[in-house]
Every structure is written in structure tokens, then in C-alpha cells.
Amino acid sequence: MTESPVTGKFASEFCQTLLQLETQPPMFEVDASNVLDYFADVGRPQWDKLGLGTDELVTSTAAELAWGVSNIVIRVDTPERSFVVKQSRKQLRTEIDWFSQLDRIWREVDVLQTLESLLPAGAVPRVLSEDRDNYLFTMEAIDADHRVWKADLLDGVFDSSIADTLARHLAAIHRGSTGNAEIAARMSDQTVFDELRLDPFYRYVAETCPRFSEPLNSLIERTTQRHDCLVLADFSPKNILLTNGGPVIVDFETGHYGDPGFDIGFFLSHLLLKTVKHHERAAESIAPAKRFWQIYSEQLSAEPSPAWLIDQSRGSGFEGQSVEHLAACMLARVDGKSRVDYLQEVWQPDFIRNFCDDLLTAGQPQMTDAFDLLERSLKSRSVQ
């Protein structure tokens, strides 16, 4: 039998890939205990690029930062400057197995560099160097005495001015990237978004909770069909660092050109989950979510409005689909692969499931309807 040219070509390329994997040196996995050894050895070009010398290697310190579950993030302090090292990990640090490709970190670098032209100076860290062989890059360090907004919210501190600033930033990103063919071409691949968001959040819940299978599978399909603007897909309070100069946004490996409603739903789901946690102060704790949506909507509605904002021809339209994402993301944090650990009262998971069920079956609800429903439901429960 004669081998087809296509099959032969594929086999040849496959063997070449295997050979490259076998001969490629293993990735130098850094942590706080060995990152300075990395810079003294294979990472020396990165150290030199930062303008640092041998003496600084001896006098520098390193400490791991608590930035999520998918990467290792280390702060390095030298006598001359401070910076952050970030490196990909294939397996995420969750109880349920969860994997993603290592090269997602280069999407993060691309997004960071793109945002420099869309946001005010200082709103995101500046990339300093890259080590492609070891899936690692360095970036500016944030003030050491910064606070993480998530911690403030969990502690019951609800500052709507932070939500105001973030709404303006996200609106600037969505509006500024709409119709940008260059950004769309560079960030059209949604593989990592699927690996880190759609699959562990939506698809996993659809498979394990049949009650939500139909609406979630429909939402997955409609989400992947939208290519409207740059979407961060990890815009959440844990990635908002509060400094004296204002909030700084970090963590962009899930960035892609897609459905802006995901950013809205993902972000607001975190705020409304905090409202459920602080249910006895519902009116106060939901205020940042209301302020965010108000300012974002005003910024996007200014002429000329993006076509996707007013286009009702695709499914439930932008606002309706944002509400669906809100419900789906809240569900994912009680039934998905990455679950919140701060909802300790026994009634809260079922309360969230029922709230989300109402949103997913409501037709085309507005975002303010979702806020009102949550407040009414929490109030009704408190008087039982």
C-alpha cells in the first residue's frame, strides 16, 4: 500500500515534534527558594536585562505571592529595584484535576502590552523581560503595602469608588479594542479561555448538574460565536490590587477576542457572591455591583456605541447574555472545579442555585432585575 502524501507529511512532522520534546531541556520550575539560583544560571540574561549585577544576586530576597491557582508568582526585592516573576504551571492547584497549556503565559504578556495603550499609565504592570524556554516573564512590582480588593470585600469593606474606576477601565478596554483587526487576529484563539473558563466552569457544571445542562450548553455555544472585542476573562476582585495611586489590574492569561458579556458576568458574580456572604448587609454589600454596572453602561452608551452593545440579533443580546454569564459564573463557584471557600452557611449553595436558575430561565432579564431579585430573595429569607 502506498502511503498518502498527507499521512506521510503528518507522520514526519509528528516525529520531528517528538524529537524536539526529547531533546529540549526540561523547564526550570522556579519557586521562592530557587528563583535567585535561576537568575544566577539559565535566567542570567533576564537578570542582566533588568540592569542588575552579580552583587545584587547575593543581597536580594524572594517571596511567593498568593495570585490564584494557575501559576507561580514571586516577588523579588533587590537593593536597586523590585519586580515580579511569573511562570506557568500545567496543572492548576485545585482539588479537582485541572490542566492547561503552558504557553498561555505568552497570551498574558500580549494582553499586558496591549493594555498599555488602552488604559491610563499604572493601571497594569509593565512587562520587563521574557524567558520563552522556561515559560516565564518578569514585570513591574506593585507597592509592597498594596491590598487585594477581594480581602476588603470579604472583610465587609464596600468601597463603590473602586467599582467606579474599574468600570471605566473595563469600558475603555472593550470600547478601545472593538473593531481592531490587529488585536482580533493576535487573540482570536480561545483555547485557554475554554481550558480555564468554559470547561471547568460551564461545561463541568452542565455535565454534573443536569438541571442546568440546557441553558449552560446554549450559553457556551453563543459565547464562542462572539468575536466583539478584547475580553480579559479573569477580571475579578482577587486580581485588583489597591495602591495609593489607584487600583492595578493583574492576571491576563485568559485574555482573548470574544464575548464582552463574560467579563461583566464574571466580575459581577464575585461581587454578588460577597453580597450573599454579607447577607445581613445586603443593601450595602451590593452597592459596588450596582455602581459598576451603572458606570460601565454609561461609558459604553456614549456615542458612537459599539455595534455589539445594541445588536439584539444574536441570542439574548449583550445585556441579556451578560446576565446569563452572571448566573453561570455564580453557579460555577459552588458547583464547578474552582469553588469559593467563604460561603460557610448551609443554606447558601442552594440559595445561589435557585437564584441562578431564576436568571437562566427568565427570558431576557436586565442586570438591574438581577440585583433586585437578589436583594428581595435575601430579604425574604431573613424574615422567615
Task: Give the pLDDT confidence of 351-382 residue by residue, as tens digits.
Answer: 999 999 999 998 778 999 999 999 999 998 87
Q: What pLDDT, on a 0 to 100 scale, did the predictor assign at position 134?
A: 92
Within a domain: 23: no
Q: Does residue 5 sit within a domain?
A: no
The domain in which residue 252 lies consists of 147-382
335 burial type by CB count under 10 A (0-12 exposed, 13-18 middle, 19+ buried):
buried
Q: Which CATH number covers residue 48?
A: 3.30.200.20
Could you give the 3-state DSSP secondary structure of residue 330? helix
Assess whether 161 and 34 both reside in one domain.
no
Q: Assess whether 178 and 276 both reside in one domain.
A: yes
Cell 479537582 sits on residue: 96
Domain boundary among 124, 140, 156: 140
Give 348's contacts (C-beta < 8 A, 6+ positions apart). Answer: 276, 277, 334
Asked if residue 158 is part of any domain, the answer here is yes
pLDDT of residue 10: 46
Residue 324 inside a domain? The answer is yes
91-126 residue pLDDT tens: 544 444 445 578 889 999 999 999 999 999 999 999
Based on the fold, state whether residues 63 and 160 are members of the same structural domain. Answer: no
Asked if residue 193 belongs to a domain, the reply is yes
The C-alpha cell that represents 31 in the structure block: 519557586
242 shares its domain with 109? no
pLDDT at 62 over 70: yes
Same domain, 213 and 70: no
Closest CA to 162 of 176, 173, 148: 148
Specify the pLDDT at position 5. Answer: 47
Final residue belonging to a domain, choices 72, 106, 140: 140
Which residue in 204, 225, 207, 214 sits closest to 308, CA to CA? 225
Amino acid at 211: R
**Nearest partner of 167 among 287, 69, 284, 297, judged by Cα:** 297
Residue 127 DSSP one-character state:
E
Q: Percent of the chain, pLDDT > 70?
A: 88
β-strand pairing of 82-88 with 136-140: antiparallel
What does the mean pLDDT of the chain come to? 89
Claim to verify: residue 258 and residue 179 sit in the same structural domain: yes
Do 118 and 202 lie in one domain? The reply is: no
Tell whether omega for the bond before 210 is within 30 degrees of 0, i.e. cis. Answer: no
Same domain (yes/no): 240, 255: yes
Instruction: Decide if 20 is inside a domain.
Output: no
Alpha helices (H) in the chain, listed in sequence order: 5-23, 35-40, 44-49, 54-59, 104-115, 149-154, 160-177, 181-186, 191-193, 204-208, 213-224, 260-277, 282-285, 287-301, 307-310, 317-335, 348-360, 367-382
Domain assignment present for residue 2? The answer is no
- CATH code assigned at 186: 3.90.1200.10
For residue 344, what are the contacts with CB-CB under 8 A and spacing of at least 6? none
Same domain, 46 and 165: no
Q: Of 93, 115, 140, which one is at a domain's C-terminal end?
A: 140
Range name among 25-39, 151-165, 366-380 with the lowest pLDDT average: 25-39
Weakest mean pLDDT among 40-44, 60-64, 129-133, 360-364: 360-364
> Distance between CA 150 and CA 236 in Å, rounded?
8
Per DSSP, the residues of 47-94 read: HHHTT--HHHHHH-EEEE----SSEEEEEEE-SS-EEEEEEE-SB-SS
Q: In whole angstroms, what is the distance from residue 274 CA to residue 290 CA?
A: 13
Q: Is the pLDDT confidence value at 12 over 60?
A: no
What pLDDT sits at residue 9? 46
Q: Residues 110, 163: one domain?
A: no
Largest CA distance in the chain: 78
The answer on 155 and 103 residing in a single domain is: no
pLDDT tens-digit readout, 234-272: 999 999 999 999 999 999 999 999 999 999 999 999 999
Instruction: Say yes or no: 130 and 201 in one domain.
Output: no
Tally of structural domains, the chain: 2
**Domain-located, residue 4:** no
